[in-house]
C-alpha cells in the first residue's frame, strides 16, 4: 500500500522534472540553431572590408557595412543620451513615490509603453518628429529608440532602487540628510550596478530594433554625422539586403546579423558580470 | 572630563545614580553648571560629585498610532543627560517606536500620528518650526542592522559632516574622521585602509563604523536600536564598552532585548509593556528591587 503510493510519487516527480527539463532544452535549442546558421551562412562574408567599407552600389559585389555599424552606434548613443537620464529619474520617482496615485499612474504608463509594438513607436515618431522636421533623420531615429528605452530602464531602475534596504535610507536620514540627498548620494550608488545592468540590456535590445527606424532614421548608403540627416543602421540594412535578389547581399545580411547578435551577446554577458548586489552576497 | 573608571566598562554600575526623577528638572536652571564643548546645551555633572542630573529628552503624555493601532499610550519619561537609558520590554511593546520618535524617524512611515509631546532641551520636537533635518543631526541613531553606506570607510564617516557643512577644509575633515573613528574604537583597525569599501568590514566593525558615522555630525543624543543584537559576544562586548565610554559626552538611549546588556551598560532602565511605560528607575533598582510585578516577571524571564 504505502510502497505503491511512494512509487507513484517518485514516478510523478520524475515525469514533472523531465517535462521542465525538456522545456528548458527547447529554449536553448533555437539559440544554438540561430548561432549555427548565422555562423555557417555569414562568417564567410565577414572580412576587413565588411567593417571598413561602404556598401557597394547595386549590381556590384563586395563592399561593407561600416557606415551602418557607425549609424547603429550613433543611434544607440543618442538614444541613451536622451533616454537614460529621463528613465533613471522616472525609475527613482516610481520607487520613491510609487504608492501615491500619480506614482502608480506613471508605473501603469511605463508598463503600457513597454508593451507598445515598436512599429507603432516608429509611426508615432514619424508623425511628431519626421513630419515636423521635414525629413528622416538620425535625431528622429534616436528619439524613437529612446522612447523604446525609457520604460525598460525606468522599470529596472525602480526595481533596483526598491532592492536597496530601507535601513540604508534611514541611515542617511538619521544623519540629517534631506530626502533627495539620501536618494542621490546613498540609494542610487547602492543600486548602481543593477541600474547599469538594466541600461546595458536595454541598449542591446534597442540596437537590434528595426521597426522604429523604418520611417525615422530611414537608412543612408553613405557616412553620416549630422543629426538632421537620415542615417544607416545594421537592422535596417539587414532587412534591405535580406529582401534583395542578390546572393552577395544575402551573405552580407547573414554576416550583419551575426555581428548584431554577437554584440547583444557580449553586452549581456558584460551586464551579468557587472551585476552584483552587495547586500545579498554578504 | 575623562572618568578614570571608564576604562573598566564591565563594571555594571557606576557608583552613583544620584539624579532621581523629581530632582532632575532643577539642574537645568542651576547657575553654576559648566558648559562643556562640543555639546553645548547641558550641564555636565561629574559622575561622582553632583547629585543632580539635567534632562535632555522629556516625553509628556506621548501617544503614538500606526493607523488605527495604538503603539504608545501616554508615555511620560525623562531621559537624563549623559547617562545611558535602556528601554526594555517584550517585542511589540513600543520601545522601538518610542526610540524612533525621539528623532522622528517614524515620520517616514505613512499613516502614523501622535499625541502629547517630546521635548529636546525643553524644545518641542513636533512644533511647526522644528526642522526635522536639523533635529536628526542633533539626535543621532545607530540601527539594529549595521547599515554602512556602499562607500569607502573614510567616506562613510566624512559624508555626514560634509553634507551638514561642519568642516571648512579637507584637513579639518580628516581630523574629524579620525577623531570619530577613535571615539568609536575603530581607528586602529581601519587606519590603514580608509579608502577600502566599508562593506568589507566585519559585522562588529561595521556597527562601530555606523557609531563613528553618527558621532561625526556631533549629535547631543545617540539613539541605539538593539545595536548588538546581530553581533557575536566579542563584538557585543566591544560595543558595550564603547557605550560606556561615550556616555561622558553623549546622552544615550538604547533599546535592547538582552537583560544582561541593559544591566551592564545602562544607568537607568525603562520597562515598556503593551505600549505603556510600566516602570522607570535606576537600573540597579529596577533589576534588584522592581516595584511592579510585571517588571519583575519580565526581568526574571517569566514572560516576554
- Residue among B50, B35, B80, B88 at smallest CA distance from B279: B88
Q: Can you tell me which residue has the cell 499625541?
A: B115
Judged by CB atoms closer than 8 Å, whether chains meet at A185 and B217 is answered as no
Mean pLDDT of chain A: 89
Residue of A nearest to B215 (CA): A175
Is A101 part of the contact surface with chain B (CB cutoff 8 Å)? no
Helix (H) or strand (E) holding A34: helix A2-42
Q: Are strands B268-273 and B251-255 parallel, antiparallel or unpaired?
A: unpaired
Closest by Cα among B215, B214, B227 to B96: B227
Write out chain B residues lying below 8 Å of A178, CB-based. 133
**Residue length of chain A:** 282
Task: Using alpha carbons, select from B293, B294, B295 the residue that is nearest to residue B281.
Answer: B295
> What mean pLDDT comes out for the span A218-238?
90
Task: Please state, in angstroms and rounded to a whole number, the distance separating the CA atoms of residues B154 and A265.
Answer: 38
At a CB cut-off of 8 Å and minimum separation 6, what does B27 contact? B19, B33, B43, B45, B50, B52, B53, B54, B55
Report chain A residues whose CB lies below 8 A from the CB of B120. Answer: none
Residue A82 to chain B, least CA–CA distance (Å): 28
How many C-beta atoms surround the C-beta of residue B241 within 10 A? Answer: 18
- Quick check: A176 and B136 CB within 8 A? yes
Cell numbers at B270, concatenated: 525603562
Q: Is A97 on the interface with B (CB under 8 A)?
A: no
The burial of B185, by beta-carbon neighbours within 10 Å (0-12 exposed, 13-18 middle, 19 or more buried), is given as middle
Q: What does the block give as the cell for A167? A: 535601513
Beta bridge partners of A142: none
Q: Are A193 and A274 in contact (CB under 8 A)?
A: yes
Sign of the dihedral defined by the CA atoms of residues B100, B101, B105, B106, in that order: positive
pLDDT at residue A281, as a whole number: 39
- CATH: 1.10.3720.10, 1.10.540.10, 3.30.70.2970, 3.40.50.300. Which one for A51-274? 1.10.3720.10
Q: What is the pLDDT along chain B (304 residues), one digit of tens a residue?
A: 444 444 444 444 444 444 344 334 444 444 444 444 444 444 443 333 333 467 789 999 999 999 999 999 999 999 999 999 999 999 889 999 999 999 999 887 888 999 999 999 989 999 988 898 889 999 999 999 889 999 999 999 999 999 888 888 999 999 999 999 998 989 999 999 999 999 999 989 999 999 999 999 989 999 999 998 888 888 899 899 999 989 899 999 999 998 889 999 999 999 999 999 999 999 999 999 999 988 988 988 876 5
Predicted local distance difference test score (pLDDT) of residue B11:
41
Chain B partners within 8 Å of A278 (Cβ) = 150, 199
Model confidence at A222, in pLDDT bands (50, 70, 90)? confident
Residue A97 has a pLDDT of 84
The structural domains of chain A, with segments of one domain joined by +, span 2-45, 51-274
What is the ipTM metric for this complex? 0.72
**B200 CB neighbour count, 10 Å cutoff:** 14
Smallest Cβ distance to A168: which of B133, B137, B149?
B149
Q: How many CB atoms lie within 10 A of CB B69?
A: 10
Which chain B residues touch A174 with a CB distance below 8 Å? 103, 105, 136, 140-141, 143, 214
Whether B108 and A170 lie within 8 Å, measured CB to CB: yes
In which band, very low, low, confident or very high, does the pLDDT at A276 lie, cut at 50, 70 and 90? Answer: low
CA torsion, points A95, A96, A101, A107, in degrees to nearest 10?
A: -20
Q: Give Dmax (Cα) for chain A.
A: 81
pLDDT value of residue B87: 95
Q: Which residue of B has its CA nearest to A100?
A: B110
Per CB distance under 8 Å, which residues of B are interface residues toward A?
A: 103, 105, 108, 110, 133-137, 140-141, 143, 145, 147-151, 159-160, 163-164, 199, 210, 213-214, 217
Cβ separation B136–A174 shorter than 8 A: yes
Tell me if B105 and A165 make a contact (CB, 8 A cut-off).
Answer: no
The CA distance from A83 to the nearest CA of chain B, in Å, is 26
Q: What is the pLDDT of residues A42-74, one digit of tens each?
A: 888 888 888 888 888 877 777 888 999 999 999
- The answer to whether residue A148 scores a pLDDT higher than 70 is yes
Retrieve residue A276's grid coordinates: 552584483
Partner-chain contact B140 A175, CB within 8 Å: yes
Any B CB within 8 A of A3 CB: no
Chain A residues with CB under 8 Å of B159 CB are: 175, 185
Kindly state whether A181 is in contact with chain B, defined as any CB-CB distance less than 8 angstroms.
yes
Q: State which residue of chain A sits closest to B141, comparing Cα positions.
A: A174
| Cα dist from B151 to A3, A187, A229, B113, whole Å | 59, 11, 45, 35
The whole-angstrom separation of Cα B82 and Cα A233 is 70
Q: What is the structure's pLDDT at A206?
A: 93
Amino acid at each position: 500500500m504505502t510502497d505503491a503510493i511512494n512509487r507513484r510519487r517518485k514516478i510523478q516527480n520524475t515525469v514533472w522534472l523531465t517535462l521542465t527539463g525538456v522545456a528548458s532544452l527547447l529554449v536553448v535549442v533555437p539559440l544554438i540553431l540561430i548561432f549555427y546558421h548565422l555562423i555557417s551562412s555569414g562568417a564567410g562574408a565577414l572580412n576587413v572590408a565588411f567593417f571598413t567599407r561602404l556598401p557597394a552600389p547595386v549590381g556590384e559585389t563586395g563592399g561593407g557595412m561600416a557606415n551602418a555599424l557607425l549609424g547603429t552606434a550613433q543611434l544607440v548613443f543618442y538614444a541613451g543620451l536622451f533616454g537614460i537620464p529621463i528613465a533613471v529619474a522616472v525609475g527613482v520617482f516610481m520607487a520613491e513615490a510609487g504608492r501615491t496615485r500619480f506614482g502608480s499612474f506613471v508605473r501603469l504608463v511605463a508598463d503600457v509603453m513597454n508593451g507598445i509594438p515598436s512599429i507603432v513607436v516608429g509611426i508615432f515618431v514619424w508623425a511628431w518628429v519626421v513630419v515636423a522636421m521635414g525629413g528622416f533623420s538620425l535625431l528622429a531615429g534616436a528619439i524613437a529608440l529612446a522612447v523604446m528605452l525609457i520604460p525598460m530602464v525606468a522599470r529596472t531602475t525602480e526595481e533596483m532602487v526598491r532592492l536597496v534596504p530601507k535601513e540604508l535610507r534611514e541611515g542617511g536620514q538619521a544623519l540629517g540628510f534631506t530626502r533627495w540627498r539620501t536618494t542621490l548620494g546613498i540609494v542610487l550608488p547602492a543600486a548602481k550596478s543593477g541600474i547599469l545592468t538594466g541600461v546595458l540590456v536595454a541598449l542591446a535590445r534597442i540596437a537590434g530594433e528595426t521597426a522604429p527606424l523604418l520611417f525615422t532614421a530611414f537608412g543612408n548608403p553613405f557616412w553620416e554625422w549630422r543629426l538632421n540627416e537620415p542615417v544607416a543602421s545594421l537592422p535596417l540594412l539587414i532587412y534591405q539586403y535580406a529582401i534583395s535578389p542578390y546572393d552577395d547581399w544575402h551573405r552580407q545580411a547573414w554576416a550583419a546579423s551575426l555581428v548584431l547578435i554577437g554584440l547583444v551577446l557580449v553586452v549581456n554577458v558584460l551586464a551579468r558580470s557587472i551585476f552584483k548586489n552587495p547586500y545579498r552576497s554578504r | 572630563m575623562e572618568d578614570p573608571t571608564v576604562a573598566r566598562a564591565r563594571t555594571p554600575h557606576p557608583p552613583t545614580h544620584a539624579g532621581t526623577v523629581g530632582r532632575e528638572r532643577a539642574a537645568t536652571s542651576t547657575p553654576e553648571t559648566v558648559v562643556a564643548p562640543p555639546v553645548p546645551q547641558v550641564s555636565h555633572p561629574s559622575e561622582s560629585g553632583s547629585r543632580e542630573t539635567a534632562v535632555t529628552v522629556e516625553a509628556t503624555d506621548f501617544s503614538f498610532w500606526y493607523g488605527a493601532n495604538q503603539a504608545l499610550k501616554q508615555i511620560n519619561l525623562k531621559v537624563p543627560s549623559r547617562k545611558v537609558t535602556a528601554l526594555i520590554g517584550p517585542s511589540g511593546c513600543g520601545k522601538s517606536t518610542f526610540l524612533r520618535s525621539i528623532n522622528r524617524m517614524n515620520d517616514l512611515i505613512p499613516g502614523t500620528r501622535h499625541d502629547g509631546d517630546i521635548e529636546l532641551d525643553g524644545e518641542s520636537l513636533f512644533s511647526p518650526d522644528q526642522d526635522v533635518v536639523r533635529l536628526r543631526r542633533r539626535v543621532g541613531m545607530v540601527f539594529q542592522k549595521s547599515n554602512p553606506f556602499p562607500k569607502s570607510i573614510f567616506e562613510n564617516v566624512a559624508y555626514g559632516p560634509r553634507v551638514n557643512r561642519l568642516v571648512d577644509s579637507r584637513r579639518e575633515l580628516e581630523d574629524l574622521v579620525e577623531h570619530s573613528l577613535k571615539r568609536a574604537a575603530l581607528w586602529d583597525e581601519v587606519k590603514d585602509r580608509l579608502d577600502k569599501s566599508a562593506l568589507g568590514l566585519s559585522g562588529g566593525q561595521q556597527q562601530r563604523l555606523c557609531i563613528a558615522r553618527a558621532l561625526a555630525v556631533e549629535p547631543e543624543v545617540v539613539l541605539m536600536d538593539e545595536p548588538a543584537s546581530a553581533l557575536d559576544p566579542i563584538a557585543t562586548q566591544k560595543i558595550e564598552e564603547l557605550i560606556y565610554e561615550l556616555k561622558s559626552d553623549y546622552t544615550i538611549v538604547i533599546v535592547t532585548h538582552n537583560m544582561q546588556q541593559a544591566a551592564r551598560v545602562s544607568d537607568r532602565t525603562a520597562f515598556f509593556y503593551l505600549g505603556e511605560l510600566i516602570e522607570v528607575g535606576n537600573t540597579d533598582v529596577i533589576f534588584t528591587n522592581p516595584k511592579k510585578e510585571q517588571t519583575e516577571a519580565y526581568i526574571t524571564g517569566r514572560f516576554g
